[in-house]
């Protein structure tokens, strides 16, 4: 049996952390390796414990989940070690704070009242390289909140926009399909290729554009006006 997925819990409510810890530790393939009460503490604990997945509350005192997400990912990247996946937890659907956390690098968000089985499945999904928010849900989020990228985000993505020209025609078609919210199966059917081929293309697209997952593809396409051009 492979090593269990290492999870870090970040929430300012000890009672909530205790409940989630009990749930996660009840699974043979999951284990809680640390807890933190805010985003600043999360950076320190993540550096020490090196979790695979971080469950990050959005609203916390001192340093919120947006700052915590950015800090945890930045510290991991600068150290050269494995970069954890972050799932942000929020009490509000269509939450602009959740969108800002995704822009900071989170792999998606969950409502804090999600079913326990869904939370466990989400941890396993992000550890496997998937996003826990369907791209279509991100599109809805972009439509309901002020989704304008920051000046820093525009500067950061300038090189990525140039990288679009390096995509092959097939990769550009698949990029557009992913940004539109299509699954690998739907893309495979449309492009008359296997799902394995689509998965391979998606991996190359993410690598060329420096993106983490499919949710980041949707944000990138939105920020550069690419969704309106299809």
Is 225 contained in some domain?
A: yes
104, 133, 162 — which closes off a domain?
133
**CA separation for the pair 73, 53 (Å, rounded):** 11
Same domain, 184 and 105: no
Same domain, 101 and 203: no
Window from 6-20, 41-55, 148-162 with minimum mean pLDDT: 148-162
Same domain, 161 and 103: no
Percent of the residues in the chain that have a pLDDT greater than 90, as a whole number: 49
**CA separation for the pair 67, 98 (Å, rounded):** 12
Domain that includes residue 183, residue range = 151-229
3-state secondary structure of 85: strand
Same domain, 128 and 176: no
What pLDDT band is residue 215 in, cutting at 50, 70 and 90?
A: confident
Same domain, 127 and 157: no
Q: Could you tell me where the DSSP H helices lie in 80-209?
A: 96-103, 116-127, 135-144, 151-163, 169-179, 184-191, 195-209
DSSP state of 32: E
**CA separation for the pair 148, 118 (Å, rounded):** 30
Same domain, 125 and 24: yes
102, 133, 164 — which closes off a domain?
133
Is 125 contained in some domain?
A: yes
Q: Please give the model's pTM, rounded to 2 decimal places.
A: 0.78
133, 167, 199 — which closes off a domain?
133
Q: How far is CA 97 from the centre of its chain?
A: 14
Same domain, 128 and 30: yes
Q: Got the DSSP string for 158-180? A: HHHHHHGGGS-HHHHHHHHHHHT
Window from 137-141, 191-195, 219-223 with minimum mean pLDDT: 137-141
Beta partners for residue 53, in sequence order: 7, 85
Same domain, 68 and 175: no
What local confidence, expressed as pLDDT, does residue 214 receive?
A: 82
Phi, psi (deg, nearest 5) at residue 105: 125, 0
Q: Tell me which of 27 and 137 has the higher pLDDT.
A: 27
**CATH code, domain with 14:** 3.40.50.2300
3-state secondary structure of 147: coil
Percent of the residues in the chain that have a pLDDT greater than 70, as a whole number: 83
Is 139 contained in some domain?
A: no
Is the separation of the CB atoms in 197 and 166 below 8 Å?
no
Location of structure tokens 């009840």: 26
Phi, psi (deg, nearest 5) at residue 8: -110, 130
Q: Tell me which of 157 and 36 has the higher pLDDT.
A: 36
Same domain, 116 and 68: yes
Nearest CA among 87, 81, 85, 74 for reference residue 11: 87
Is 30 contained in some domain?
A: yes
Pairing of strands 5-10, 30-36: parallel
**CA separation for the pair 77, 186 (Å, rounded):** 33
Is 199 contained in some domain?
A: yes
Is 142 contained in some domain?
A: no
Burial (CB count <10 Å: 0-12, 13-18, 19+), residue 173:
middle
What pLDDT band is residue 3 in, cutting at 50, 70 and 90?
A: very high
Same domain, 10 and 123: yes
Is 140 contained in some domain?
A: no
Is 211 contained in some domain?
A: yes
Same domain, 92 and 128: yes
Same domain, 90 and 198: no
The total number of structural domains that make up the chain: 2
Cβ neighbours of 93 (radius 10 Å)? 12
Is the separation of the CB atoms in 208 and 181 below 8 Å?
no
């Amino acid at each position: 049996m492979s090593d269990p997925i290492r999870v870090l819990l970040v929430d300012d409510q000890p009672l909530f952390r205790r409940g989630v810890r009990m749930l996660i530790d009840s699974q043979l393939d999951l284990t809680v390796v640390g807890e933190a009460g805010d985003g600043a503490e999360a950076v320190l604990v993540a550096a020490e414990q090196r979790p695979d997945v971080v469950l990050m509350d959005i609203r916390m005192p001192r340093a919120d989940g947006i700052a915590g997400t950015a800090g945890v990912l930045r510290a991991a990247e600068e150290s050269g070690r494995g970069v954890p996946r972050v799932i942000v937890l929020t009490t509000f659907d269509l939450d602009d704070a959740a969108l800002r956390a995704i822009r900071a690098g989170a792999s998606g968000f969950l409502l804090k009242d999600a079913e326990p089985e869904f939370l466990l499945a989400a941890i396993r999904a992000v550890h496997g390289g998937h996003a826990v928010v369907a791209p279509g849900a991100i599109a809805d989020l972009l439509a309901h909140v002020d989704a304008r990228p920051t000046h820093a985000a525009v500067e950061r993505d300038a090189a990525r926009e140039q990288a679009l020209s390096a995509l092959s025609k097939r990769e550009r078609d698949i990029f557009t399909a992913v940004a539109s919210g299509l699954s690998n199966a739907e893309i495979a059917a449309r492009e008359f290729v296997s799902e394995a081929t689509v998965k391979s293309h998606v991996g190359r697209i993410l690598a060329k554009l420096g993106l983490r997952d499919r949710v980041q593809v949707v944000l990138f396409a939105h920020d550069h006006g690419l969704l309106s051009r299809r």
